[in-house]
């Protein structure tokens, strides 16, 4: 089962050019620098619908904008707002759109100068919009393949920066995996160690412990990755060993799972046509999934600081 696509609506509210506008009213010139050269950065933030409370629970909102600011700094993009202001703008967009379903928030900052020439000079623009988003991938078991495309090295395109242009690397690997009948691709580094999946960090459970590639393995330092490590240590008494991982360690693992804002916690049950463990979702991934969704929907009392609630007023009453 391939990943799903979720479409934005032109009638929904967004933030662009320093003001709230309808998404369909935003226009960009084809000469926009970021469109020609990939000079933009973005974030992906989830807001989970809590039916019993009538609220959206925005997960790790500040942490995402802190990483967003660092991405902008690396690419010499000037943000027009503080992190606190970005958080409040995002909450106001959600109040205006009032979605009563799980929702994805996309902040995007980019070089907006309309000129031809590869450099990092010129002005910047900020846009924030939302789309409805349920499960991006199957959460009971993915079939993956090691990609023939290597992960872009941090010294070529910084892995710590969520740059729009760097996702060409992802698109090539995902397309090849899908054409071969797999759900997703797993990257190796230039040195041949496991890096991450196409757009998610990777964990394996082996010999009674959790393992994940280190930040030096050309990975994006995932916010969901940090959350999973926190849950594993606090709730399962299982600290995570951050170290280099060989390709065949994945085949020998009892469990493998992917983590990310889009992927959430997605077990991998097969890699390169080899079953992982029993070939079904394992108990560690299953338990972490339960804990994660409880925290993400604001229903776990020990992790209330993970989310910001937004009361949703039906659009007809606004």
What does the buried/exposed string (b/e) look like for 149-166 if buried means 16 or more CB atoms within 10 Å of the residue's CB?
Answer: bbbbebeebbbebbbbeb
Q: What is the dihedral of CA 111, 113, 117, 121, to 10 degrees?
A: -60
Q: Are the C-beta atoms of 163 and 169 separated by less than 8 Å?
A: no
Q: How many residues in total does the chain contain?
A: 318
Q: Cα 217–219–224 angle (5° rounding)?
A: 130
Q: Are the C-beta atoms of 291 and 75 separated by less than 8 Å?
A: no
Q: Which of 70, 162, 275, 315 is catalytic?
A: 162
Which residue reads 């409880």 in tokens? 294
Q: Are the C-beta atoms of 188 and 150 separated by less than 8 Å?
A: yes
Q: Are the C-beta atoms of 106 and 130 separated by less than 8 Å?
A: yes
Contacts of 94 by beta carbon, 8 Å cutoff, 6+ apart: 47, 56, 58, 103, 105, 130, 310, 312
CB-CB neighbours of 120 under 10 Å? 13
Active site residue 162: yes
- DSSP-assigned beta bridge partners for residue 143: 270
Q: Answer left, alpha or beta for residue 116, where phi above 0 means left and psi between -120 and 50 means alpha.
A: beta
E strands, the chain, in order: 13-16, 19-22, 40-42, 45-50, 55-59, 103-111, 124-132, 142-146, 184-188, 194-197, 201-206, 209-212, 240-242, 255-260, 264-271, 274-275, 307-311
Task: List residues with catalytic annotation.
Answer: 162
């Amino acid at each position: 089962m391939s990943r799903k696509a979720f479409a934005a609506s032109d009638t929904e509210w967004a933030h662009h050019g320093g003001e709230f506008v309808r998404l369909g009213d935003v226009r960009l010139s084809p000469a926009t620098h970021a469109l020609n050269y990939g000079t933009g950065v973005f974030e992906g933030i989830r807001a989970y619908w809590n039916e019993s409370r009538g609220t959206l629970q925005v997960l790790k909102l500040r942490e995402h904008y802190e990483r967003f600011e660092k991405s902008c700094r690396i690419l010499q993009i000037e943000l027009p707002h503080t992190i606190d202001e970005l958080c409040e703008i995002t909450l106001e967009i959600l109040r205006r759109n009032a979605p009563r379903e799980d929702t994805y928030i996309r902040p995007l900052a980019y070089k907006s100068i309309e000129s031809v020439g590869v450099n990092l000079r010129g002005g910047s623009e900020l846009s924030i919009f939302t789309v409805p988003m349920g499960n991006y991938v199957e959460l009971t078991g993915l079939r993956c393949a090691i990609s023939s495309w290597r992960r872009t090295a941090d010294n070529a395109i910084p892995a710590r920066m969520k740059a729009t242009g760097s996702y060409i690397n992802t698109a090539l690997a995902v397309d090849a995996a899908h054409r071969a009948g797999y759900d997703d691709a797993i990257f190796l580094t230039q040195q041949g160690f496991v890096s991450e999946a196409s757009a998610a960090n990777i964990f394996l459970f082996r010999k009674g412990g959790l393992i994940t590639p280190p930040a030096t393995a050309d990975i994006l330092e995932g916010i969901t990755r940090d959350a999973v490590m926190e849950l594993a240590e606090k709730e399962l008494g299982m600290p995570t060993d951050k170290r280099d991982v060989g390709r065949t360690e994945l085949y020998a693992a009892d469990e493998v799972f992917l983590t990310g804002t889009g992927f959430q916690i997605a077990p991998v049950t097969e890699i390169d046509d080899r079953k992982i463990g029993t070939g079904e979702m394992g108990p560690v991934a299953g338990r972490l999934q339960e804990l994660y969704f409880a925290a993400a929907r604001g229903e776990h009392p020990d992790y209330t600081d993970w989310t910001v609630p937004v009361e949703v007023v039906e659009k007809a009453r606004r």
